[in-house]
Amino acid sequence: MILTLETPGHRRDKKIALAAISTPSLRSERTSARIGVRSRAPLRLGLAGGGTDLSPYCDEHGGAVLNATIGRYAYAHLTFRDDHRVVFRAHDVNKEDILPLASELPTHEGLILHRAVFNRIARDYMKGRLAAITVTTTVEAPAGSGLGSSSALVVALVEAYRQAFDLPLGRYDVARLAFEIERIDLGLAGGRQDQYAASFGGINFMEFLPNDKVIVNPLRVERAYINELEASLVTCFTGRSRESDTIIREQVKGIASASDKTVDAMHELKADAIEMKQALLYGNIAGIAEVLNRSWQSKKRTAAAVSNEHIEAVWSLGMANGAIAGKVSGAGGGGFLMFICDPEQRYRLISALNASGAEATTVQFTSEGAEAWATGL
């Protein structure tokens, strides 16, 4: 198997072979100690349309989401071992799994995302040739943050394996594989936007169509407009990481039962994604704020647990200290709130939120998606 390094602008073309890595028994101790792969995938802000990427809504009506990746990442570092073990370490949650090398690892306990990615790669791509490895990860946001952190971690893991074993996976392939691992293999509730945002990076208008068709449309936004939006945005961790599973299952139940309240709210969210895309392309920050506020009201109608007393208190505090719009990023119930304000009011807004015990920061958008590179050369 060839470990490769990509030249800029390419994922599989013009690769430079760095080292020949076969099965564990054929690698030298020196090679296995030196050669590794590191990867990262960006987290994202869900600007508009979140929830319309859920089945069965997108299968029946088509979904549309506007999101943007930010300067927070999920990281993975893959190195090779010679002791016929698989070791997973997640430093941000202080957990470690040490398992005997096998073609299928149990996924009912431990670091289930790490295990499920290993299982799928072993099953679909390794053709019976297993490699003893150590995979170490960190994520720059807690699980349940509303920033797509779990999906970004899965994408970073897939990207590390893609680079280490020269797997024939493009960006759509990586995102689809990550989606299947989370939603099908592990049965975790959720939509589709997070995996595609982490894989592609940037500001994207995404369409989720029947028959599992996904179209990622990168937006060519004027740099001045991006700068102004960055200067106007504040993210705020409410201090309460939420379980999105309950919220998402309630939304799915409402869609499946054709609840007018849920389905109509989803239609509104989809329309908001289209309208916010136009506002962004024209640099209309006031228009973006108007859609954001409207979307927050629509989102709260999709499930009872989307908001709660604590979220409403933080939202109200932000609105009383310079914000002109705000809503949760992600499914809701906690995690991160995002606010839009006049840039001249941003310091005041951040100071007030932090004084209340929340964790408010500025936002920087990123243009690159998942990427991997060789280490120890």
Active-site positions read 194
Among 107, 104, 204, 197, smallest CA distance to 153 is for 197
Task: Compute and round to an integer the Cα radius of gyration of the chain.
Answer: 21
Block residue for tokens 């390794």? 126
Helix axes 346-355, 309-319, angle to 10 degrees: 140
In the structure encoding, which two tokens stand for residue 338, read together? 């995002």
Block residue for tokens 């957990």? 95
Are 161 and 137 within 8 A, CB to CB?
no
Are 169 and 28 within 8 A, CB to CB?
no
Give the three-class secondary structure for 222: coil
Are 373 and 2 within 8 A, CB to CB?
no
Cα angle value 39/40/41 (rounded, 5°) = 135
E strand residue ranges, 210-262: 213-218, 233-237
Whole-angstrom distance, CA of residue 199 vs CA of residue 196:
5
Are 237 and 358 within 8 A, CB to CB?
yes
Burial degree of 126 (CB within 10 A; 0-12, 13-18, 19+)? middle
| CB environment 230-239: b (16+ within 10 A), e (fewer) | eebbbbbbbe
In the structure encoding, which two tokens stand for residue 21, read together? 């890595």
Cα atoms found within 13 Å of the Cα of residue 10, Cβ hemisphere only: 9
- The single-letter code of the amino acid at 209 is L
Whole-angstrom distance, CA of residue 31 vs CA of residue 160:
18
Q: Are strands 85-90 and 133-139 parallel, antiparallel or unpaired?
A: parallel
- The single-letter code of the amino acid at 355 is A
